């Protein structure tokens, strides 16, 4: 899930999402930023309480640009992530590693940027080294906040700065998916076709806004449910987009993308 923007959350959508989680029982929750609207302590507390109430066994969260205080200037400059860390832990680039899943978080926010995000060469290399330690039994995922690909011309201004080189070396290191948010528009794109020249098949998977009133592009509240199969030498995953219509309706499966994945692992660690 992405962009819940606590401070603009809808209680009826939260209840519907909790019901979906209870029904599907996912093994991990990936939260790709903009957890709050204005990075207040109260908003972070509400967000953490909701995440805890879902009782998903494993959690990986990264900050978004809204998770840095905007108007508290001294905090933004001197301790931009203090409130985020109090709620979601010290690590800004956490890693989730299990027998079937390797997720590497990359902090693409910058305190001196209001919206735009960036990934440095050092960050990209660090994530690549961790990805290269993965196995073919694992779905290997990078999580960023700002998108590495877009579907609309008006969203190009939101593209992650430094994405071209980062995507290239993450593919070399064995990444299967790059998850993102920020633009509140869910879609799946083949990076091996749009980026060109990648070492393997790799997919951009964008999530909409999970529970916020901040809907865009006529897209409803939504989350993605990712299922992975890696047995008998064949690897594929499905990305299910679950939408929640207005008025307290339940989340319903709206789209299913079946993604073929490469069977090889990545390059050796750098």
pLDDT digits (tens, 9 = 90+) for 27-70: 999 999 999 999 999 999 999 999 999 999 999 999 999 999 98
Question: What pLDDT shows up at residue 264?
Answer: 77
Q: Please, which pLDDT band fits residue 228 given cuts at 50, 70 and 90?
A: very high
In a domain, 266, yes or no: no
In a domain, 96, yes or no: yes
DSSP string, 108-119: ---TT-SS--B-
In a domain, 268, yes or no: no
The domain that holds 54 is classified in CATH as 3.60.21.10
- How many DSSP H helices and E strands does the chain contain? 7, 11
In a domain, 3, yes or no: no
DSSP state of 209: B
pTM metric for this prediction: 0.95
In a domain, 270, yes or no: no
Per the structure, the complete domain to which residue 48 belongs is given by 11-260
Averaged pLDDT, 155-184: 97
Q: Please, which pLDDT band fits residue 123 given cuts at 50, 70 and 90?
A: very high
In a domain, 208, yes or no: yes
Question: What pLDDT shows up at residue 195?
Answer: 66
The region of weakest confidence among 100-109, 123-132, 167-176, 214-223 is 214-223
Other beta carbons less than 10 A from residue 122's beta carbon: 8
Question: What pLDDT shows up at residue 231?
Answer: 66
Is 65 in a helix, a strand, or coil? helix
Evaluate if residue 237 carries a pLDDT over 80: yes
Other beta carbons less than 10 A from residue 35's beta carbon: 31
Total domain count, the chain: 1
CA–CA separation, 176 vs 257, rounded Å?
14
Residue pair 174/140 in contact (Cβ under 8 Å)? The answer is yes
CA–CA separation, 223 vs 231, rounded Å?
26
- Residues of the chain above pLDDT 90, percent: 84
Q: What is the mean pLDDT of the chain?
A: 94
In a domain, 97, yes or no: yes
Evaluate if residue 248 carries a pLDDT over 80: no
In a domain, 267, yes or no: no
Evaluate if residue 90 carries a pLDDT over 80: yes
CA–CA separation, 184 vs 216, rounded Å?
6
Residue pair 170/270 in contact (Cβ under 8 Å)? The answer is no
More confident residue, 79 or 270: 79
Q: Please, which pLDDT band fits residue 270 given cuts at 50, 70 and 90?
A: very low
Question: What pLDDT shows up at residue 77?
Answer: 83
Q: Please, which pLDDT band fits residue 268 given cuts at 50, 70 and 90?
A: very low
| pLDDT, tens only, 23-38 | 999 999 999 999 999 9
């Amino acid at each position: 899930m992405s962009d819940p923007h606590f401070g603009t959350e809808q209680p009826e959508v939260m209840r519907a999402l909790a019901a979906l989680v209870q029904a599907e029982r996912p093994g991990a929750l990936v939260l790709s930023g903009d957890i709050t609207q204005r990075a207040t302590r109260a908003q972070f507390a509400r967000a953490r309480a909701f995440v805890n109430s879902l009782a998903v066994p494993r959690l990986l969260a990264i900050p978004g640009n809204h998770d840095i205080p905007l108007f508290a200037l001294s905090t933004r400059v001197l301790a931009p992530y203090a409130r985020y860390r109090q709620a979601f832990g010290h690590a800004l680039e956490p890693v989730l590693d299990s027998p079937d899943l390797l997720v590497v978080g990359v902090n693409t926010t910058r305190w001196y940027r209001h919206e735009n995000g960036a990934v440095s060469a050092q960050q990209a290399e660090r994530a690549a080294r961790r990805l290269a330690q993965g196995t073919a039994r694992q779905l290997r995922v990078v999580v960023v906040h700002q998108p590495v690909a877009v579907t609309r011309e008006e969203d190009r201004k939101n593209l992650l700065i430094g994405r071209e080189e980062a995507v290239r070396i993450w593919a070399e290191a064995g990444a299967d998916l790059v998850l993102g948010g920020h633009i509140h528009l869910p879609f799946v794109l083949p990076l091996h076709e749009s980026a060109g020249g990648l070492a393997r098949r790799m997919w951009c998977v964008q999530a909409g806004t999970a529970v916020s009133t901040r809907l865009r592009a006529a897209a409803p509240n939504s989350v993605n449910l990712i299922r992975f199969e890696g047995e008998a030498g064949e690897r594929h995953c499905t990305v299910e987009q679950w939408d929640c219509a207005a008025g307290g309706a339940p989340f319903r499966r709206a789209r299913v993308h079946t993604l073929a994945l490469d069977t090889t692992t990545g390059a050796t660690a750098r």
